[in-house]
Structure 1
């Protein structure tokens, strides 16, 4: 199946510029070598904690940021090969829906003005009557009425504002929507309405979704495939049924435990994550997850001869020194970047003395 979005080893680094005096400024590796493909009509989810690089990746997908390395291809066209006019034409086909509609909608414009502006910017429906008809069609598709067209964002509820933001995204008839935390700013009851709306629009308009989220329940409900992101990299990737049903990376297992799921085939839940994600200005050596990894601590406790002292306690030497290569699942299509991905015993507590 053809890929609507094809991301190839894309990276985005910030900083690193020379200073007038002293060493260059440190480099923040916000996205560092991410690859994935989203076939037409599919839903690809990117999940991880705040600070993992998800939103930066979203902006790379729509061309708001240029990559420092690698490339993003939309329908086979590399974004880096496009000039300003070509990039504007492409943006009509790949639209971004942001997390907070209060920040993404202009408070000085009514819903009608916001939707009309999108048509004008992209040179669509030059006739006024045709524009009005398209605006009315778009608000109808997202469940708003004609009465909402004259309202300003502050006169709408949170769910109505997000519906208006989605209407602005689909009014230009895109092929792909990049949804950056589309429901996290909404009440739980409204979240379900927006999720159902998005899935309905996907089927009616034949859309491809790339969803940025930290909500694994949303991933299991909406997505076909998922990439689990940590410090700018995918630590696990594959079909949702495999990654969420039987997670192999300790980070994915901890995220699942935080959402009330334990790893498949065990009675005890995975340890819940402790500590905070390190700064992208100082990514740990070896496996970037080793400073917080519960599996690494269990292995070090069971095999102390293979451990070394670190500021985070005694940890396996290979975790501290060696970057793990992606390991395909036996007989499956998922991959996990963990030294213990194929060692289930590494994730169980050591026997009591």
Structure 2
């Protein structure tokens, strides 16, 4: 998913289901990174509902019955949405029943008078004690022939209902607003740096590498690397502008920068670029008083501090306004 964000810069990503156990499931970290990059993240039905419930405080949007049950605490276990399924050549067809579907089906059967409350609880209890790949209706309904006859028409598939609900919201551009969460910081951990996408600019990697190679040849890379590091740190640690404030920064960027240097940015990428610039200015403003000392420390790192200090202390000449030469002493 992170590669998708880096390459295509989508406005919205919706997660419904996913593969796990034999391959890594969609990672919380990559969802958080997508959120920080300005992508609207939504989830429902299965793994999408789990991740949305876990990441609601960070701005992920959830929808549907399963998500609401997870948020309320009615459901707490990942196995509630887990199913065994066939491979891609079979369309990932499920071969077991999801626990959330069993619960919903039992509620429907109880409401329809097909079974009583005790029987419904017995089926649910048996299913919950069964490992998720083995949850199948024939075994669960063996003691309830009336329920078995009713199932073909009465079975509830709440996961499918929730998936359709989310797709309907997306088609109508009617996703709920992200919950108002607290400000949070995305930590660039060692694990994340090892797997994060190599390029955030949307350019082909070969073209990015060619530009960086030229900068190294010209001796400009290290200076630009330090400036870029400051830009990224500022973008992750300072509040990004939104609404009218972001619009003002977009207008300012468009006014002051050459059109050719912005030509490959679409509207969303331009907004992210302007927001990064706002963070950089905010960071520079906040630390302005400490910059002289930091500049001197940078000279130490470059091995230029002693020479610069000696030159500043030594007598030197300068030209006065009349064009004559005079000697000054820096005290």
Compare CA radii of gyration and give the structure with the larger one: 2
Tell me if TM exceeds 0.5.
Answer: no
Flag the structure with higher helix content.
2
Flag the structure with higher strand content.
1
What TM-score results when the alignment is normalised by the length of structure 1?
0.25
- The structure whose RCO (Cα within 8 Å, separation 6+) is larger is 1
What TM-score results when the alignment is normalised by the length of structure 2?
0.26
